[in-house]
Amino acid sequence: MKKVLFALLVTTILTACGGLKTYNNALKQIELGMTKEQVVSLMGQDYQTSGKTYENNNEYEVIEYKDMYKFHWIFEFENNKLYKWYKETEDGK
């Protein structure tokens, strides 16, 4: 019985850790100048739009992804082209 419980525990831990690499692998492929669609195809559809403005005939949009460690990955677009991206935490660090 202990072996079965141990095997279940190890399987659960490995499965949980495997899912965490998704953003890491996608982030390695992100490049400035990508379109929003290219970023979303790498990072996935699970994002929130944080802001969208029009200024001097330019469109600005900010989207963000949150992971289980409370990191926020922020992507800023100008005219649908990525010009800035960075990481924040929920505590502002």
Mean pLDDT in residue range 30-42:
98
Task: Please give the structure tokens belonging to residue 77.
Answer: 């677009």
55-to-5, 31, 60 alpha-carbon distances in Å: 59, 24, 8
Mean pLDDT in residue range 35-60:
97
Question: In whole angstroms, what separates CA 51 from the centre of its chain?
Answer: 16
Q: Whole-prediction pTM value?
A: 0.74
Gyration radius from the chain CA atoms = 18
Query: How many angstroms separate the CA atoms of 38 and 11, rounded?
Result: 33
Domains recognised in the chain with CATH numbers: 2-89 (3.30.1450.10)
Mean pLDDT in residue range 40-50:
95
Q: How confident is the model at residue 21 (pLDDT cuts 50, 70, 90)?
A: very low
Q: What is the mean pLDDT of the chain?
A: 85
For 68, which DSSP code?
A: T
